[in-house]
Structure 1
Amino acid sequence: MVDSERLSAPGCWRAGTSFSRSTKKGIFLFAEIVLCLVILICIAALSAAYSSLSVIEMIIAAVLFVFFMCDLHSKMSFISWPWTDFLRALMEAILYPITSTVVLVEGKGNSKIAARVGGIFATSLYGCDAYLTFPRKQQRHTAAPTDPTDGP
């Protein structure tokens, strides 16, 4: 039997707000989505050529937000979700300063400064996310027993 409250819009809204407030991953992903939107607005005011990074990352962060919120990542074990999330955050921590520097150099107008500051914030946010995601994968390792179980 399907639970109608879980599939309803208020239930989904409640699950999303609960996830974005209660877990570190939810807070980071929600902040990444909002920051990508702000950077997209600033960069799109200058040139649409460099806005694809923000659009792609905002979509990826929104998809991961839904996956983690609905606990779908535990049902699909063929993907290593901690490593996927770590590599995504690491790539964005590398790509955002490059893109925002190019926008600062080539851009004209006042929004180029805002795009550069947003790029610095995004680099810090994604770097923090990558740093906090990587140890989570490493903590799951357990040492093998070294003592023989048969006796002397």
Structure 2
Amino acid sequence: MGDIEAPDSTQSRQSVLKSVLPSKEFATSRKGMLLIGEVALSFISFVCFAASAAAAFVTVPLLAFLATVFFLFAYSTKFNERFQGFCFPLVDFMRCVTASIIFFIISIMAVSKYPDGSSKAAGIFGFIATIVFALDFYLIFNELAGFLKQGGESNDEPSRQRDDSSDSDSD
């Protein structure tokens, strides 16, 4: 009995891990690499702040970590595509902007105000996280600006419909 149940439990664990972890295609994409970098940097910053004298700032990297894990899960499982009325890129943009600004502020405070090494390390990782979050919101902004310039079109079909209707109006 133990031999029969062991492969099934191993297979079920593997299927759960495959459904939770991002696919290789997403993890190697630009958005996937940015999100994984944000998760890693915010977690490292969280650990450094928790071990430092600047422990009062531990909330920011923790919230950034949790929000980024949610967006990593949402994008990797295509959860964001199921809700058409909810603008995930705009919320992701706001997450990146606020995280970048707040990481920058607390990193300056951790490096300049606290003398211990873990506070300095937390500040350095916070500055790196600021750069990664800023890069992410810059790329999201360019995508949103391109989307708005197109008038909100998400594919080529509406432009073809407009071309067909313009031909019928000219007759």
TM-score of the superposed pair, with normalisation by structure 1:
0.83
Counterparts in 2 of 1:41 and 1:48: CA distance versus 1, 3 Å: same
Is the 8 Å Cα contact of residues 20 and 30 (structure 1) preserved in structure 2? Answer: no
How far did 1:71 drift?
0.4
Residue 70 (structure 1) aligns with: 77
Tell me whether 1:21 sits opposite 2:27 in the alignment.
yes
Counterpart-to-counterpart distance in 1, 2:72 and 2:109: 29
Give the 5 Å matches for 1:15-54: 16-46=22-52, 47-54=54-61
How far did 1:117 drift?
1.1
Counterpart-to-counterpart distance in 2, 1:108 and 1:86: 34
Name the one with the larger helix percent: 2
Counterpart-to-counterpart distance in 2, 1:150 and 1:69: 44
Counterpart-to-counterpart distance in 2, 1:20 and 1:148: 41
Tell me whether 1:81 sits opposite 2:100 in the alignment.
no
How far did 1:110 drift?
1.1
- 1:107-148, Cα deviation, whole Å (9 max, x unpaired): 231112212211210111011000111111222342686968
Q: CA RMSD in A?
A: 2.5
Counterpart-to-counterpart distance in 2, 1:142 and 1:110: 50
Gaps of 5+ in 1: none
Structure 2: which amino acid aligns with 1:16? P
Structure 2: which amino acid aligns with 1:151? S
Correspondence for 2:102 among 95, 106, 117: 95
Over alpha carbons, which structure has the higher Rg?
Answer: 2
Tell me whether 1:135 sits opposite 2:126 in the alignment.
no
Counterpart-to-counterpart distance in 1, 2:38 and 2:84: 25
How far did 1:17 drift?
4.4
Counterpart-to-counterpart distance in 2, 1:31 and 1:120: 13
TM-score of the superposed pair, with normalisation by structure 2:
0.75
How far did 1:21 drift?
2.7
Q: Secondary structure at the match of 1:78?
A: coil
How far did 1:8 drift?
1.8
Is the 8 Å Cα contact of residues 89 and 130 (structure 1) preserved in structure 2? Answer: yes
Structure 2: which amino acid aligns with 1:131? Y
The aligned length equals: 147
Counterpart-to-counterpart distance in 1, 2:26 and 2:128: 19
Gaps of 5+ in 2: 1-10, 152-158
